[in-house]
């Protein structure tokens, strides 16, 4: 006994989709990019598109260039800094002691 669903296993829009429905595809060109780890990436671009100087490597994330023997250097990432590290860059220990003394004096009601 059938469940009553005549198009079981199909979904709306399923079916062959050829050039007649999509239209002509633009002419493409594949460009090779190499990163510092010697990974090759070959994205495709439209023939009339401007090709970028660098491309991010999908394997390691380093920047990749078109010159295999001279790839761009990886960018240097600064380590994470805490709020205290930024404060220490702006203030000396003597400044910190003065601010602490002032805050304690306010709490004690001396000011």
Instruction: Evaluate if residue 2 carries a pLDDT over 60.
Output: no
| Domains of the chain with bracketed CATH | 28-65 (2.20.28.270), 77-110 (no CATH)
Instruction: Evaluate if residue 17 carries a pLDDT over 80.
Output: no
Sequence ranges of the binding site = 35, 39, 57, 60
Residue in the block written with tokens 């306010």: 106
Whether 57 contacts 49, CB under 8 Å: no
Sequence ranges of the binding site for Zn(2+) = 35, 39, 57, 60
d(CA 56, CA 44): 14
d(CA 83, CA 80): 10
pLDDT tens across 27-65, in order?
Answer: 999 999 999 999 999 999 999 999 999 999 999 999 999
pLDDT tens across 61-101, in order?
Answer: 999 999 999 999 988 888 889 998 898 899 999 998 999 99
């Amino acid at each position: 006994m059938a469940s009553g669903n005549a198009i079981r296993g199909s979904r709306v829009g399923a079916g062959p989709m050829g050039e007649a429905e999509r239209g002509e595809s633009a002419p493409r060109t594949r460009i090779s990019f190499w990163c510092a780890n010697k990974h090759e990436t070959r994205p495709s671009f439209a023939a009339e598109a401007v090709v970028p100087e660098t491309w991010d490597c999908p394997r390691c994330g380093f920047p990749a260039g078109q010159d295999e023997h001279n790839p761009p250097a990886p960018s240097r990432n600064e380590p994470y800094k805490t709020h205290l590290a930024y404060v220490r860059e702006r203030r000396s220990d003597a400044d910190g002691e003065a601010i602490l003394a002032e805050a304690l004096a306010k709490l004690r009601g001396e000011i």
